[in-house]
Amino acid sequence: MRENKKLAPRQIMFGISLLLVFGFSVAGCGLGSTNAAMRGQELFQNCAPCHQADGSGNPQVGAPNIAGMKAWYVQAQLQKFRAGTRGMHFSDVEGMRMRPMAVSLASDDDVKAVAQYVESLPTVKHAPTLTGDAHAGDNQFHLVCASCHGINGEGNPDLKAPRLAGVDDWYLATQLRKFKAGIRGNNSKDMEGRLMRPMSRVLTDEDAIRNVMAYLDTLNP
């Protein structure tokens, strides 16, 4: 007849230790949420150190206000960074900072998820940081920019032209300068960027840029 053996305390402790080791080993194995909205929020944690948790940006590190930006545009720009068609110019310091962050998104689904999360963030409008002649800027804007970006700067997804109303003036001015200098929009695969370069040259000097910014500051997102 089989003898009924009791487990010794040492064996019990050994068993508990093994379970604990296994538990600790798999504790960090979470693969992230499968829900797209939750996944986007999780991924945005990598963006928050520069763009802030509410997506309102941080001019100190050149991170723009992206809160409420349309998903199609965020997605397109992230894909450009990932492909190296943006953020690969020697003088594009902010672009080069952004590129590895975009590359860290493992899949197209992740790009889509984080872009949708960005769009879901409530829009934030900051006070103007640049001064200029808004009236002159109004004329210039409707002469040059409105045909693609919309009469009220609301953007046009069909032309892949992003919303400008409500976007920080310092950021738009910086990008215009980069387009003018060929720092952005110089890659042959960046079709929209290449289209923007000649447009940016229409704003011939710093005053013209500031005037358009002063006008855009009067628009609401």
Nearest Cα to Cα of residue 180 among 157, 212, 135: 212
Smaller CB distance to another protein: residue 155 or 193?
Answer: 193
Least separation in angstroms between residue 23's CB and another protein is: 27
Cα-based angle 43, 52, 63 (whole degrees, multiple of 5):
95
Least separation in angstroms between residue 3's CB and another protein is: 30
Smaller CB distance to another protein: residue 100 or 157?
Answer: 100
Footprint of another protein on 160-199 (CB under 8 A): 186-189
Residue 65-94 contact track with another protein, rule CB under 8 A, x = bound: -----------------xxxx--xxxx-x-
Least separation in angstroms between residue 63's CB and another protein is: 11
Least separation in angstroms between residue 100's CB and another protein is: 3
Packed helices 108-120 and 36-44: angle between N→C axes, nearest 10 degrees: 80
Quote the DSSP letter at residue 4.
-
- Burial class of residue 46, CB neighbours in 10 A (0-12, 13-18, 19+): middle
Neighbours of 196 (CB within 10 A): 21
Calpha distance 221→218 (Å, rounded): 10
Structure tokens at 93: 């310091």
Least separation in angstroms between residue 60's CB and another protein is: 12
Assess 99 for contact with another protein (CB under 8 A).
yes
Calpha distance 115→80 (Å, rounded): 13
Assess 46 for contact with another protein (CB under 8 A).
yes
Smaller CB distance to another protein: residue 101 or 176?
Answer: 101
CA-CA-CA-CA torsion sign (174, 178, 183, 187): positive
Assess 210 for contact with another protein (CB under 8 A).
no
The residue count for binding another protein (CB under 8 A) is: 23
For binding to another protein (CB under 8 A), which residues are involved? 46, 49-50, 82-85, 88-91, 93, 96-97, 99-101, 103-104, 186-189
